[in-house]
Structure 1
């Protein structure tokens, strides 16, 4: 009987949390997002369903955002066509969606220059601790607020193309 009572109390607590908007995992019931476009110069990111912009966000980039990412530690955000290729629900930055950088040409360019291309490029939140750090503070990632990454995480699936423009 105690096990059943504990189960009922746990279910009641879960319902109370979801009723008041608790938790970082949101649901999305709109049109499927078919592309993500990032414009580094204007610091904007757009989620697109077919040819229509569904949502847009102000973003922060790598600490040295001008130009494409070429090497590990250069502080740049990549440029070009990639894919959303993984999800991290336990990110140090609240939630994160992986960008498929480096691709084969990124690796070849770095290797030809005797360097590593770097990696671990994500769209992520701020985890609270990075608020107010300035315009561009990431190591090359694309950052939004924690509330925005919750929304983006629910809207964008693995395999979605992302194009990062200068």
Structure 2
């Protein structure tokens, strides 16, 4: 009888624990790596696919390109200039991984993904990256340096691993990389990459009231608003330690 009672108590305790701490079912691992190796093979595979997809949207590979990142939503938007002039959204990609919280990167080793306005030129491309493919955002930019911020090798890359970068899956970085490379090869001097903490709409900024980074985020908001109105990436400059945003000429 005592053994039955002990068993009953033990089973009851186990059931209570099961309700409090349900068993964790591991998510299936995504296919993060592409079977393609080498930039030549990647270009050969992605170029015809991208051309066909862009043609359906009345866009073309090699058109001026613009990238927006929204950290809170974990998405990367890839925009291309249309024949009419304004930019059109080609694709939205989920960011596989980024590190840190909302707020800018401040110093080397803080594992924060940057927020701000960056430029990617040909020198920033790395087809031989250990993370499948990558391009350097150019952190710290002039604004970051004026604020004394430090860091290096902040990139958009593949392999879904981040210690401060914006990491994509390998198939996604292939599309993004080949698109950026084509735009630069066609004569675009640099591809602007604007990394926002979130979409700085009036409603979202109201929710950020009182946050330690509220004033910094307010300095990023005009670039978002200017593009939303014109669908052309604004001109960004730095005067002393301030971003200056003006409409594209």
TM-score norm. by structure 1 comes to 0.72
Distance 1:65 1:123 in 2: 17
Map of 1:79 onto structure 2: 115
Map of 1:24 onto structure 2: 42
Distance 1:145 1:62 in 2: 12
Structure number, greater radius of gyration: 2
Residue deviations 1:97-152 (CA, integer Å, cap 9, x gap):
11121112212322xxxxx60111111000xxx5xxxxxx5111111111111111
Of residues 150-159 and 66-75 in structure 1, the stretch that sits farther from structure 2 once superposed is 150-159
Q: Is the 8 A contact 1:83 1:100 kept in 2?
A: yes
Map of 1:153 onto structure 2: 177
Q: Is the 8 A contact 2:137 2:156 kept in 1?
A: yes
Map of 2:65 onto structure 1: 34
Q: Which runs of 4+ in 1 moved over 4 A?
A: none
Q: Is the 8 A contact 1:33 1:155 kept in 2?
A: no
Task: In structure 2, list runs of 5 or more residues that go unmatched.
Answer: 1-35, 55-59, 82-86, 185-189, 198-249
Distance 1:24 1:119 in 2: 27
Q: Is the 8 A contact 2:97 2:168 kept in 1?
A: no
**Structure 1 pair 120–78 and aligned structure 2 pair: CA distance change class (3 A):** same
Task: In structure 1, list runs of 5 or more residues that go unmatched.
Answer: 1-17, 111-115, 131-136
Q: Is the 8 A contact 1:58 1:144 kept in 2?
A: yes
Question: Which one has a larger percent helix, Structure 1 or Structure 2?
Answer: 2
Q: Is the 8 A contact 2:133 2:173 kept in 1?
A: yes
Q: Is the 8 A contact 1:65 1:140 kept in 2?
A: no
Aligned mate of 2:132, from 90, 94, 97: 94
RMSD between aligned alpha carbons? Answer: 2.1
TM-score norm. by structure 2 comes to 0.49
**Structure 1 pair 165–122 and aligned structure 2 pair: CA distance change class (3 A):** same
Q: Is the 8 A contact 2:125 2:134 kept in 1?
A: yes
Q: Secondary structure at the match of 1:156?
A: helix
Map of 1:55 onto structure 2: 91
Q: Is the 8 A contact 1:61 1:140 kept in 2?
A: no
Aligned mate of 1:118, from 139, 151, 154: 151
Distance 1:47 1:63 in 2: 21
Per-residue deviation, 1:62: 3.5
Per-residue deviation, 1:33: 4.4
